[in-house]
């Protein structure tokens, strides 16, 4: 089956769900406020100023394409061709993205750097991340400590090597996780210096680093693999589904296998199935969640605790068995 050209996919993504429903299924739209609707069939799916979110399934987006795949269960290629055929038969005035340069809004800027990375290094080590791996990313400028809030900053780079994304995570007792204003999820925190044909996919930067640590613990060369974080389990409105993985696959044409290490919760499982549906015709997609625990970091902490107990009490106890995985 021929692979759709990138420009065709991008054109299909331009049609938002509200416009699609107004044209194809107007009976589904139930007004609930100014520029706000819910769907008649899926009453927990709300459309608010163009963006849609299905609250009962914790997924959302803007494009009709994402809706047809994630909600209606359509095959990605067929859904894209369906939208393109609508445009051919009845030209649709597609909503145009407002360029950041034109508006001067949401321009990206990295948080100010602190004089040292002491708190960040201590925080990541508390989360079980290997010190050498931390130092490697710090040396590349991809992890640093912000000032004055002393958050951990995970930097994502554009094709030109310029910072274009930053995930933020607090190092203190108050839990905080977010993104720097203007961050583009297509450039979410990743690592791709190896020549592997496999990319490992994670919800967060912490999970990515945790998996790299697990690889090192197994004696594997963690730098040989491709890794990409998604910046959370949420459909990207502006850049497609899921933007960072799509970008990685575009940049690394040799990738043949996608291994999904998303969280063991409803959102993680739902998003995993959506990604499988989208990419299964063009790639081998493997569902590889952590064997136990909420996420990859939770699993890493369990493994480290077991190793510590084993060193203290001997090897006679039963420990979590980890399936063999590449």
Per-residue pLDDT of 16-30, as tens digits, reads: 888 888 877 787 888
In percent, how much of the chain has pLDDT > 70? 86
Q: How far apart are CA 198 and CA 259, in angstroms?
A: 7
Domains of the chain: 6-97 (3.90.580.10), 118-301 (3.40.1360.10)
> Which residues face 48 on adjacent strands?
36, 51
Other C-beta atoms closer than 10 Å to the C-beta of 15 total: 23
Cis peptide before 148 (omega within 30 of 0): yes
Whether 94 has a pLDDT exceeding 60, the answer reads: no
Average pLDDT, the chain: 84
The DSSP code sequence of 187-212 is: G-SEE--S--SEEEEESSHHHHHHHH
Q: Per-residue pLDDT tens for 264-320?
A: 988 888 889 888 888 888 899 999 999 999 999 999 999 999 999 888 876 544 445
Residue 241's SS3 state is coil
Phi, psi for 206 (deg, rounded to 5): -60, -45
Q: pTM higher than 0.75 for the full model?
A: no
**Helix/strand/coil percent split, the chain, to 5:** 35, 20, 45
Q: Any residues with CB less than 8 A from the CB of 285 and at least 6 apart, and which?
A: 257, 258, 260, 275, 276, 279
Rg, the chain, Cα only: 21
Separation of alpha carbons 282 and 294, rounded Å: 29
pLDDT(101) > 50:
no
Strand arrangement, sheet containing 177-179: 143-145, 152-157, 163-169, 177-179
Higher confidence at residue 319 or residue 42? 42
Give the 3-state DSSP-derived string for 262-275, with helices as H, strands as E and coil as C.
Answer: CCCCHHHHHHHHHH
| Rama region for 154: left / alpha / beta (φ>0; ψ in -120 to 50; rest) | beta
pLDDT tens for 57-76 read 878 888 889 899 888 888 88
């Amino acid at each position: 089956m021929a692979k759709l050209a990138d420009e065709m996919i991008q054109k299909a993504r331009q049609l938002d769900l509200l416009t699609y429903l107004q044209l194809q299924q107007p009976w589904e739209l139930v007004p609930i406020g100014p520029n706000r609707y819910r769907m008649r069939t899926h009453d927990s799916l709300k459309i608010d100023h163009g963006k849609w979110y299905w609250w009962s399934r914790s997924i959302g987006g803007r494009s009709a394409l994402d809706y047809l795949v994630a909600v209606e269960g359509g095959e990605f290629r067929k859904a894209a061709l369906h939208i393109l055929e609508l445009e051919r038969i009845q030209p649709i005035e597609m909503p145009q993205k407002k360029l950041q340069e034109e508006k001067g809004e949401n321009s990206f800027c990295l948080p100010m750097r602190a004089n040292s990375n002491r708190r960040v290094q201590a925080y990541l080590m508390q989360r079980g991340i290997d010190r050498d791996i931390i130092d490697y990313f710090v040396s590349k400028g991809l992890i640093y400590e912000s000032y004055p809030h002393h958050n951990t900053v995970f930097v994502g780079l554009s094709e030109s090597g310029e910072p274009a994304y930053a995930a933020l995570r607090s190092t203190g007792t108050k839990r905080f996780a977010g993104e720097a204003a203007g961050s583009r999820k297509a450039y979410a925190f990743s690592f791709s210096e190896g020549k592997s044909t496999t990319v490992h996919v994670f919800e967060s930067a912490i999970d990515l680093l945790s998996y790299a640590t697990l690889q090192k613990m197994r004696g594997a060369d963690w730098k040989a693999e491709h890794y990409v974080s998604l910046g959370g389990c949420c459909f990207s409105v502006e850049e497609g589904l899921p933007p960072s993985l799509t970008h990685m696959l575009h940049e690394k044409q040799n990738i043949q296998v996608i291994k999904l290490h998303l969280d063991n919760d409803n959102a993680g499982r739902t998003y995993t199935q959506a990604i499988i549906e989208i990419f299964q015709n063009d790639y081998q997609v493997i569902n590889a969640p952590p064997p136990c625990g909420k996420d990859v970091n939770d699993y890493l902490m369990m493994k480290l605790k077991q190793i510590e107990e084993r060193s203290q009490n001997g090897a006679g106890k039963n420990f979590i068995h980890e399936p063999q995985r590449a």
